[in-house]
Amino acid sequence: MVTNNKKMHYRQHIVRKLENIEAKLKHIEFHNGRGNKQEVENTKRECEELVEEVKATIEREPQTSNELNRQ
């Protein structure tokens, strides 16, 4: 039997970042309804930065043998 000891190390960090993105999307929806374009743009930029942080965190995670074989 082969066991895979690789696991996601930053799971909670990623979940918090995704929850932060969800909250910011609601913020965008609120300000968009009020016509506050500047606040929408600022929050959109923050969301994009958070997405980049999540991507970078995932890239640092160890890959499984399945993932390595697909590359």
Q: What is the DSSP string of the chain?
A: --------SSHHHHHHHHHHHHHHHHHHHHHHHHT-HHHHHHHHHHHHHHHHHHHHHHHHSPPPHHHHHH-
Q: What is the pLDDT of residues 3-43, one digit of tens each?
A: 455 677 788 899 999 999 999 999 999 999 999 999 999 99
Are 54 and 16 in contact, with CB atoms under 8 Å apart? no
Would you list the domain boundaries of the chain? 11-58
Binned at pLDDT 50, 70 and 90, residue 1 comes out as: very low
Return d(Cα 43, Cα 20) in angstroms, integer.
11
